[in-house]
Amino acid sequence: MSEHRVLYLMRHASADSWGILGDKNRPLTPAGREEATFIGGQLADSGIQYVVVSAAARTRQTVANLGLGVDVESTDRLYGAGSSTILHIVHELDPALTCVLVVGHSPSIPTLVHQLVSEDSDREALDLVSTHFPAATCCRFDFEGPWAGLETARLTRTIRTKLPQKP
């Protein structure tokens, strides 16, 4: 019997402009911290066991503000990664894990979301990201089988702080 798995893919919350710190060191804005806290509240009972996050300051700060209280792996592999690299990282996840969050950047997170969407995905969840994927958007995918076999999955929920939320 294959095991049910849940993958959350999230774009980091709103960050400051480049300035003198450079892209990798950009911190979250005060609004970004609020966005991440809101998303964290939405994920509080999600069952997330592990988080993989880009090594960029804004992604790590997003995860810190989510307040999930689980193990976090920060990796340079996600910073500047394309969607295929992110999927490869997911394929390498510990088989004992059943619910994981990956926090990264645009355009790779939105691209991977659209690549993974299966025909039986929730239309409302898909509509929320079909034309716009703002900062602090988080998508939930459900699928059966090992992480290494993930190619498509059912998008079951989209959580976002910008533009109207659908109940």
Left if phi > 0, otherwise alpha if psi is -120 to 50, otherwise beta: which for 37? Answer: alpha
Q: CA-to-CA distance for 27 and 115, rounded, in angstroms?
A: 29
Return the structure tokens found at 1.
Answer: 């019997």
3-class DSSP state of 52: strand
Strands (E), the chain: 4-11, 50-54, 71-75, 99-104, 138-144, 154-159
pLDDT tens digits along 62-119: 999 999 999 999 999 999 999 999 999 999 999 999 999 999 999 999 999 999 999 9
CB contact set of 126 (below 8 Å; sequence gap of 6+): 117, 155, 158
In the chain, the domains with their CATH numbers are: 4-159 (3.40.50.1240)
The answer on pLDDT for 18 being more than 80 is no
Peptide bond into 110 cis (omega under 30): no
Could you give the angle at the alpha carbon of 54 between the alpha carbons of 31 and 8, nearest 5°?
A: 75
The answer on pLDDT for 153 being more than 80 is yes
